[in-house]
A = this chain, B = another copy of it.
Amino acid sequence: MNKLERIEQSLNPRSIAIIGASSSPERVGYNILESIVKGGFKGEIFPVNPQYKEILGLKVYASIREIKKPVDLAVIVLNQFASVEMLKECGEVGVKGAVVIAGGYKEMGPDGKALQDQLAAAAKAHGMVLIGPNTLGLINTRANLNATFYPDEFKKSAISFISQSGAYGCSFIYKLWDHGIGINKWIGVGNQAVLGVPDILEYYEHDETTKLIGIFFEGTDDIQGFCDAAKRIVPKKPIIVVKAGKSELAKYSALTHTGTDAGSDEGWQEIFKQTGVLGASSANDMAIACKTLSIAPLPRGENLFILTHTAGPSIMATEVAMAMGCSMPPLAEKTKDRIAQIIGNVPVILKNPVDVAAGGFAHDKFGHLADVILQDEATGLLLACYQYHTIWGCPSQAIIEAKQKNGKPIIMCLISTYEAFLKEKDLLQENGVPLFQTPEEAATAAVYLINYYRFKSRSAEMI
């Protein structure tokens, strides 16, 4: 098996050993076992701990040697010293994939670095792929596998993550959940002793169920590997990155967190520009980007038009779009005429953003207006903004029809509470229209689509 096949086997194991399994709910060795069991994993589960006979109804083995069946993935939940010895033992019995949860390695300074080197050497000596150390674990929703110590539920999607932080990586999942979107795979690379961000990127490149990749990282020793992988992947699958280490204090925190040199922010910005990797500056921005790029079609050009019946939010969406370098050309005369015909004598001045005031409350009119703007060849994509009303609701169906008819993206902003958002999200999002509650979020979504479109067009022009 080559490296990618070993990663594939570790993410789709036929059997898992949890070494250091515990029966105490306040211990990580219990929590991971519980996550795997509750997550609905269909393969064999082997808890390992000489102190127990049974946990959660499962037979517990005294050692990895006692299992005497093939183990595809070993999750090691022991302290930093015992984990090194256990990894060797796993290698000796033929385990090819392991996760080491403990911290206390490179992030602690020279002694920890030496310990991590032993860990890496043991993995390499036995041809094992190792995830971590200093990690929350891994998730593969396609295999109903949650090997982290957070027993959460997951919806499925085509979005896969790489994270150097457990909790911050989880915040991507949680915010996406709030946005109504699931995940595909999630790998906490931690200190990257053996498998680093570039390795997982290469795996996701070839993983057919992954259509989009989100990354939180503090840094990598293999910048060239990252750039090479990103250059190959971005034209096929968008990569969105939150990169920590802008401020000196954050850089020092990264060093003491995962032993990572964060590098210069300017250098990373240049790498993003050259590779087409899209930057995100918050967990919510990451969720907005992932949701939008995974469900909306690509724009048919970079010109953004905004349609609304209520000017204020369209002005704030314009502010965000302009600040982020969008192109928002004026309305063509013929399109202005068509809009005027639809709205009648409502007193408004037509421009882009297109505010039709009371001329746009009715669903059929709002949908008709969206259709007319999308029909204009100048339009690359549309941001449609509507205020939710208990009587008028949201013109979801009309918006979906306009989008399907024209094959161009619509980003929907529904000024509303989260409760109202929940009522509309499934219909819209299942039909490829990302829904947001605020104009700033909707404009941010539009900017991600435009920036990915720009990069794709630019790379298509190159020979």
- Quick check: B391 and A257 within 8 Å, CB to CB? no
- Quick check: A362 and B80 within 8 Å, CB to CB? no
Does A91 reach chain B (CB closer than 8 Å)?
A: no
Segment from A48-56, A343-351, A424-432 that makes contact with B: A343-351
- Quick check: B174 and A437 within 8 Å, CB to CB? yes
- Quick check: B351 and A281 within 8 Å, CB to CB? no
Instruction: Bits for A261-305, please: 1 = Cβ < 8 Å to B, else 0.
Output: 000000000000000000001111000000000000000000000
- Quick check: A415 and B170 within 8 Å, CB to CB? yes
Residue of A169, A314, A319, A416 with most partner-chain B CB within 10 A: A319
Segment from A119-127, A220-228, A242-250, A455-463 that makes contact with B: A242-250
- Quick check: A361 and B314 within 8 Å, CB to CB? no
- Quick check: B347 and A112 within 8 Å, CB to CB? yes
- Interfacial chain B residues near A246, Cβ < 8 Å: 319, 322-323
- Quick check: B351 and A167 within 8 Å, CB to CB? no
Segment from A5-13, A24-32, A138-146, A401-409 that makes contact with B: A24-32
Interface size on A, residues (CB 8 A): 86
A389–B279 Cα gap in the complex (Å)? 29
- Interfacial chain B residues near A103, Cβ < 8 Å: 347-348, 357
Instruction: Bits for A49-67, please: 1 = Cβ < 8 Å to B, else 0.
Output: 0000000000000000000
Q: Identify which of B257, B310, B355, B389 contacts A311 (C-beta below 8 A).
A: B257
Q: Identify which of B164, B252, B283, B315 contacts A351 (C-beta below 8 A).
A: B252
Q: Write the chain B residue with the least CB distance to A358.
A: B28
Instruction: Bits for A144-183, please: 1 = Cβ < 8 Å to B, else 0.
Output: 0000011110000000000111111111001101100000
- Interfacial chain B residues near A164, Cβ < 8 Å: 312
Residue of A247, A249, A348, A352 with most partner-chain B CB within 10 A: A249
A244–B320 Cα gap in the complex (Å)? 11
Residue of A80, A167, A249, A415 with most partner-chain B CB within 10 A: A167
A109–B328 Cα gap in the complex (Å)? 23
Instruction: Bits for A27-49, please: 1 = Cβ < 8 Å to B, else 0.
Output: 01001000000000000000000
Known contacts A175-B438, A439-B171; decide if A349 and B387 are in contact (CB<8 Å).
Answer: no
- Quick check: B171 and A437 within 8 Å, CB to CB? yes
Q: Write the chain B residue with the least CB distance to A38.
A: B390
- Interfacial chain B residues near A244, Cβ < 8 Å: 312, 315-316, 319
- Interfacial chain B residues near A109, Cβ < 8 Å: 349
A463–B184 Cα gap in the complex (Å)? 61
Chain A interface (Cβ within 8 Å of chain B)? 25-26, 28, 31, 80, 103-104, 107-109, 112, 149-152, 163-171, 174-175, 177-178, 216, 218, 242, 244, 246-250, 252-254, 256-258, 281-284, 308, 310-316, 318-319, 322-323, 328, 347-349, 351-353, 355, 357-358, 361-362, 385, 387, 389-392, 415-418, 437-441
